[in-house]
A and B are shown apart, each in its own frame.
Chain A
Amino acid sequence: DGGITQSPKYLFRKEGQNVTLSCEQNLNHDAMYWYRQDPGQGLRLIYYSQIVNDFQKGDIAEGYSVSREKKESFPLTVTSAQKNPTAFYLCASSLRSVGEWFNQPQHFGDGTRLSIL
Chain B
Amino acid sequence: KNEVEQSPQNLTAQEGEFITINCSYSVGISALHWLQQHPGGGIVSLFMLSSGKKKHGRLIATINIQEKHSSLHITASHPRDSAVYICAVRFWGAQKLVFGQGTRLTINP
- Residues in chain A within 8 A of chain B (CB atoms): 40-45, 48, 56, 58-59, 88, 90, 92, 100, 102-111, 113
Contact = CB atoms under 8 A, between A and B. Distances in A.
Interface in B12-53: 30-31, 33, 35, 40-45, 48, 50
Interface stretch (B55-63, B64-72, B98-106): B98-106
Nearest to A58: B96
Interface of B: 4, 30-31, 33, 35, 40-45, 48, 50, 86, 88, 90, 94-102
B7 to A, nearest CB: 14
Q: Nearest 7 CB-CB pairs, A to B? A: A42-B99, A108-B43, A110-B42, A111-B41, A103-B31, A43-B99, A105-B45
Nearest to A107: B45
Nearest to A59: B96
Contacts, number: 58
B100 to A, nearest CB: 6
6 contacts: A42-B86, A90-B41, A102-B94, A105-B33, A106-B45, A108-B35
A43 B45 contact: no
Given A40-B101, A42-B102, A43-B86, A48 B96 contact: yes
Contacts of B40: 110
Nearest to B94: A102
Contacts of A43: 86, 88, 97, 99
Contacts of A44: 99
The residue among B35, B40, B41, B50 with the most chain A CB atoms within 10 A of its own CB is B41
Nearest to A104: B48
B42 A111 contact: yes
A44 B97 CA distance: 9
Contacts of A58: 96
A113 B41 contact: yes
